[in-house]
Structure 1
């Protein structure tokens, strides 16, 4: 059995209602904290993806926590995650992932869609990644029409919390990645079609400083100023930045009236390590800074958070998968290139599980996470065909 002719595949995919799906799904506000919107989105996706063979389920989110502005730790609610398992006993199996959440909360001003020209749709989540989900569905439907389909099994995972770090779905991603020959994730490509290659990692931390209150005029020396301690901590952590490790102390919360020595402060800080060694360097800097500031300022410091997305290098397996995607692109008349990026996504988590992944197989677009977000409509057919060809070549070869 051979991969079908490109013209036949393109005709099959062009008949799919990808733009209609994109617009209908983008009309649903599914900001990560909008649980009602996520329920609607999960239902719409379940209806759409149920045309594929296999078992579809909505998985409850794993527990996740957040540190509030008063220093308390509480559970965060998330939406359910969609999982579709197709031919789980196949010798060759792949993983396809996407996310149903967006960065636009229910009260955000950006809720509507409009065409900027015949090929450019502006709207919330149209590129990141309602368009990507639509073309993934079209690609898999095309795969299922091929005689090669029986040679490959796959899992589809669409989570509800990617935009905030995938804390309630990380374990699910790792579990589904196990045993897969390759994975494709549907973050948007750049407007010119360039894919993301190597990615740095990320770590987000909330560091709670407990000082001691006192009157700012009568007995300030009896207090322990938590704002000062948090500021000291921010400066020390910032000094740990180096080549391959970015450090961003992003916010200090706390304090109160001007005449009271503040007894509580929360420092929010983000690290961007480019390698596992940089994670070790960052963790050592965190441990050192906390110990030093706690001793020097006579305060209690509690650390919350983790390096939730490890760096994603282009190893041999990833290079082979990229080459296969490039070869599929050439069959479609596309010159597929990629470049390193400092951004992170669920592709980091998949790579950490030892599975080769290309994580920008979605639509071409840009200005994501802003009111200028746009989708290039002609990329829906183009990128769905790119995915379908890549999957069918893996099916034909029985792997990479």
Structure 2
């Protein structure tokens, strides 16, 4: 890879000089748990104002409705927050997609609400790494890019959704729409503390199986009942037995039951399945349906399936590998060692890859302990990753492809 040009160095200096820490502190001070609609509205407005410094259009997109099965077995519609979409130069020859999420896993009543310094340069706070720090990196890199002579060659869509932490059900269609025609995508989940990126990812699906049996008196005529709770437990064991190197299965919860003297007539099994490959995903869904049919037959109950695989597996194919190698080479020019490894987690990078677009989905700052009250951001990695993103996009503009 060729050495840095004077123009590139000027762009990288602008990216690093952007006041990202102040933005992270302001954004992380707003609780934006996925279910906190008021907090999401506030942070969406703050982000819309911040991204208005870029040319192009800024809009808030209404979320798609999301269905969920409650503890009583009823399908309910859940409302999510608006998503942010920024579009710049849609007719430019090189089109990129940059994504992040404004929601966190911490609800409005969670005790983890405040920012503290664990030590100099390490900021503890909700969403600091996952991923308000990542959003700050996006904005810094793009602001610097706009002053580059190469800017006219690059068009981009930025999508910051409000429901990534719960599976992006309300934003999946928007992601798929914006991924069309893109040369590459960058997603700003945090890198590991040592800077390692996530490579291949499994898929993920969340399922709710409603089981309907028949109630009866537990002492007088239990044989006339059909115990839905036992059927759910049997199904959980059958699904757990499907585990293999290519499939992780987690039966997570059973809702149901009631008074001790009544045979329970309803139960709901919640299960997560994570297949490593598309073939494993298809086999897992078929095995799930076969297990449901066997339980229904052997327990004389009715089983109804809700949910599906919302995150397809993300293998490292050749185009994705080339993009990772580009990021690695850009890192080398900046004195940043870049490596990647497979992970068991999932994110919007899965959805983007399923659209046939190469994606690196851990372009955010270094941090750790995400999804816990120990979450932390390594502050020095904000300018580091802003420079890495800016250079990656400049080199994509020159190459025209990943």
Q: TM-score, normalised by structure 2?
A: 0.98
User: In structure 2, how many angstroms separate the alpha carbons of the residues matched to 1:107 and 1:352?
Assistant: 35
**In structure 1, what is the equivalent of residue 59 of structure 2?**
57
Instruction: Give the Å deviation of 1:4.
Output: 4.4
CA contact (8 A) 1:6 1:332 kept: no
Classify the secondary structure of the residue corresponding to 2:283: helix
User: In structure 2, how many angstroms separate the alpha carbons of the residues matched to 1:4 and 1:271?
Assistant: 49
User: In structure 2, how many angstroms separate the alpha carbons of the residues matched to 1:377 and 1:243?
Assistant: 37
User: In structure 2, how many angstroms separate the alpha carbons of the residues matched to 1:346 and 1:127?
Assistant: 16
Classify the secondary structure of the residue corresponding to 1:341: coil
Give the 4+ runs in structure 1 shifted more than 6 A.
none
> 5 Å matches for 1:174-323?
174-323=176-325
Q: Pick one of 355, 370, 393 that aligns with 1:353.
A: 355
Instruction: Give the Å deviation of 1:399.
Output: 2.0
**In structure 2, what is the equivalent of residue 398 of structure 1?**
400
**In structure 2, what is the equivalent of residue 73 of structure 1?**
75
CA contact (8 A) 2:209 2:305 kept: yes
Classify the secondary structure of the residue corresponding to 1:183: strand
Unpaired runs of at least 5, structure 2: none
Classify the secondary structure of the residue corresponding to 1:375: strand
**In structure 1, what is the equivalent of residue 141 of structure 2?**
139
Instruction: Give the Å deviation of 1:11.
Output: 2.7
Classify the secondary structure of the residue corresponding to 1:88: coil
User: In structure 1, how many angstroms separate the alpha carbons of the residues matched to 2:60 and 2:292?
Assistant: 41
CA contact (8 A) 2:164 2:347 kept: yes
Instruction: Give the Å deviation of 1:117.
Output: 1.3
CA contact (8 A) 1:3 1:148 kept: no
Unpaired runs of at least 5, structure 1: none
Q: TM-score, normalised by structure 1?
A: 0.98
In angstroms, what is the RMSD of aligned CA positions? 1.0
CA contact (8 A) 1:207 1:266 kept: yes
Give CA-to-partner distance per residue, 1:96-131, whole Å, 9 cap, x none. 000000000000010000111111000000000000
Q: Pick one of 329, 333, 352 that aligns with 2:335.
A: 333
Instruction: Give the Å deviation of 1:342.
Output: 0.6
Q: 1:390/1:4 Cα in 2 relative to 1: closer, same or farther (>3 Å)?
A: farther
User: In structure 2, how many angstroms separate the alpha carbons of the residues matched to 1:154 and 1:284?
Assistant: 39
Give CA-to-partner distance per residue, 1:346-392, whole Å, 9 cap, x none. 00000000000000000100000000000000000000000000000
Give CA-to-partner distance per residue, 1:34-89, whole Å, 9 cap, x none. 00000001000000001001111100011110100000001011001110110011
CA contact (8 A) 1:325 1:336 kept: yes
User: In structure 2, how many angstroms separate the alpha carbons of the residues matched to 1:4 and 1:30?
Assistant: 40
User: In structure 1, how many angstroms separate the alpha carbons of the residues matched to 2:230 and 2:128?
Assistant: 44
User: In structure 2, how many angstroms separate the alpha carbons of the residues matched to 1:347 and 1:341?
Assistant: 12
CA contact (8 A) 1:255 1:265 kept: yes
**In structure 2, what is the equivalent of residue 107 of structure 1?**
109
Q: Pick one of 144, 163, 166 that aligns with 1:164.
A: 166
